[in-house]
Structures are given as C-alpha cells and as structure tokens.
Amino acid sequence: MKILINIGHVAQFNFYKNAIIELSRNHLVLVTYLKRGKLQVIVQNEFCDVQNIQTREVGRHRGHKFSILFEANLVAIFKTAIVIYKFKPDVVLGNNYIASVGANFISTPTCTFNDDPERGKISLKILSFLSDVVYLPFYTESKNFKSMNALKEWAYLTPKYFHPNINALDVYKLQPKEYLFAREVSTGTFNYAGQEQGLIESLSHAFPKNLAVVLSLEDKKLKHLYPKNWIILEEPVANIHSLIYYAKALVSSGDSMAREGAQLGVPSIYCGFRVMHANNILVNKGILFHKQKNEALFVLKNILNDDFVIDQEKFREALFHDWDDLTQLIITEATKYFKK
C-alpha cells in the first residue's frame, strides 16, 4: 500500500512521526513537507535512512505574507498535486487542504486531522468538501466530521511514546523544577498576525532573577533583545520535551507549546491572543492559563510560590486513561483502504 502524508510545520511532524515509522514497516510512505524553519532538517534527519519512507519538499514558508500566500499555499498545492499524480497513493493524510486538492483530482481517499474549528464555517466547509473524513478534537460529529478524543499533541506526548530523559538537563546545567521554560513565536504568520510582537521579551524584566530561563525563540535574529543570562535554544533540540517536562512552569506566546507543556503536566501560561477550542480543553482542566501580560505574571508568581500544585504523573495518567491513542487512529485511517 502507498500512503502520502503532508506536513506543514514541526508540530505536524511530531503528530505523524510515530505513525509514519509504524506504517513504514509494511507500507510505502511518502512524506511531503514545506521548507519552513528547521522542518526540512528534522524530516531529513529522522527519515533519510528509514526503509519504505520517502520525502519530498513541495513548497516554502519564509514567514512573510507573500511567501505564506504564494509559496506555502498556491505553489505547495500545485507541487503536491504533481507528486500525488506521479506517486498515485492509496490514501492521503494531512492537517489542512494542501494535499487534498491534488488527491481529489485522481479520486484518492483523504483524511484530515485539524484542531482549528474556530477558523469558521467556510474553512470547515472547504475541509469537508475536499476530505472523506475530517477529525477535530472533542467535536460534535456530523456528516464527514468525526471527533478525536484527544488533542493532537497527545499523539507524541502520551506516556506510551514519551519518556522524559533527565539527562537532557545536564547539557544546560539545569536542575528539575528549578527553571522556567519560555517560548516566543514569530508574529509574521497568519496565525499570529495582529498579535503584539515580542510578548515574552516585554515580560522578561519581571521574570524571577533566581531561576534560570530556557527560551525557545522562533526568530533567532531577535535574541539580542532577551536577558543575556537566558539559555536560548538552538533548534532542533533532540530532547526539547524533556526540557519542558522538568520545568517549574512554561510561559508561551504561541498556543502549540503552551498545550504541550500542559499535556506534560507542567503548569503552563499562554499569553497570545488566539482563543482556541483546543486550548479551552486544557484550561478547563486547570493546567493551562490563558492570560494577557500582567495577568500572566500574576499567575506565574502563584505557580512559583506553589500556590498551585499538581501531581504531574497522576495528571498524565488520567489523560492516558481518558484520551484516545491518536497514533493508532492515524494508522487505522491510513490502512482502512488496504486490500490484502
């Protein structure tokens, strides 16, 4: 069986990674991806020597609006359609409509995993029209929309696949729960267009001086703006989720890493401007806080003073018991058209 999986950014790579490796044991998997940040390096490093996995770059994402509209969408759709026509997959999987367009031209079944229902009815109708099935987290099922009982980050953060490596701290001379993890996203994308630039940088002066800070900074050209004693990561980082797991708290201007921290059982603060269904799942569990600027600092102070205490492993065990195995769901959807 031939399976094509389309990936647009690192979070999507993480979502599919375990399923891709498992599927490659018995099937040929072609991974198409955007040349975006470190994604190309990660894809090539992870899959270059794996039997039955092929990779193709199908577009670019350089962070500005023209690149997003033209290279990461129009060009990506065209190039992906050509790849699909030549590869002739039995099924196409993705997180948006990029690969679904080409798949429809040759009547190939498509499955889409999405977590942004708040983008609106038009976006959902497009996904519905182009996909045989669309999965959304904790969503009311109708027509070809199905609900996945987990958030997409759980595919790689579930205890079944993720095991924290405390040795990851040695590289940065850190001690468990004695440092903060921060994430600063670029506002040069559609997701964050209109959000205040440098939210974490604007709060950095108020971060406690007695705790180390590990910063994942998307735009490295701006690193001179942050305190010199902060540890600025050079991605890709092999054990980045272990660094998050052992942090005392996480503060992020982006939604993805805020959700990752929360699912790792780390009290996490999201100070960005997006109001998201996926975030609210974790906000309602009391592990993720969506706060703006000064409110974010107030919550951070409470976490550091241990006014908010959570049993990290019990929290994760509860999610493991209650939530779906998304990797198995991906595999099931990818192989249901397989004819022995």
Which tokens go with 38? 């470190």
| Residue 87, CB-side half-sphere exposure with 13 Å CA sphere | 28
What is the per-residue pLDDT for 339?
67
Q: Would you say residue 13 lies in a domain?
A: yes
Q: Contact at 8 Å (CB) between 270 and 255? A: yes
- Residue 226, pLDDT score: 97
Do residues 91 and 78 share a domain? yes
Q: Number of C-alpha atoms within 13 angstroms, CB side, residue 190?
A: 10
Q: What angle do CA 286, 287, 289 make, to 5 degrees?
A: 85
The Cα–Cα gap between 340 and 335 comes to 11
Instruction: Tell me if residue 128 falls in helix, strand or coil.
Output: helix
Asked if residue 311 belongs to a domain, the reply is yes
Segments of the chain scoring below 70 in pLDDT: 188-191, 193, 339-340
Element (H, E) at 232: strand 231-232
Same domain, yes or no, for 203 and 56? no
Q: Are residues 316 and 331 in the same domain?
A: no
The alpha carbon torsion through 143, 148, 149, 150 (nearest 10 deg) reads -150
Percent of the chain residues topping a pLDDT of 70: 98
Cross-strand partners of 33: 7, 57
Do 118 and 199 lie in one domain? The reply is no
**Position 340 in a domain:** no
Spatial separation of the C-alpha atoms in residues 168 and 172, rounded to whole Å? 8
Domain that holds residue 144: 2-158+324-335
Backbone angles phi, psi at 316, to 5 degrees: -70, -35
Whether 207 maps to a domain, the answer reads yes
Whole-structure pTM value: 0.93
Query: Residues 78, 184: one domain?
Result: no
pLDDT tens digits, one per residue of 45-88: 999 889 999 999 999 988 777 888 889 899 999 999 999 999 99
| 295 within some domain | yes
Distance of CA 194 to the CA centre of its chain: 21
Q: Does 121 share its domain with 201?
A: no
Position 78 in a domain: yes
Residue 121, sorted as left (phi over 0), alpha (psi -120 to 50) or beta, turns out to be alpha
Long-range contacts of 316-320 (CB under 8 A, 24+ apart): 316/159, 316/263, 316/264, 316/265, 317/159, 319/150, 319/154, 319/158, 319/263, 320/158, 320/159, 320/160
What CA–CA distances, in Å, run from 228 to 138, 199, 294? 42, 17, 23
Distance CA 300, CA 171 (A): 26
How many independent structural domains does the chain possess? 2
Outline where 131-180 has alpha helix (H).
154-157
The CATH number for 258's domain is: 3.40.50.2000
Nearest-angstrom CA–CA distance, 75 and 77: 5
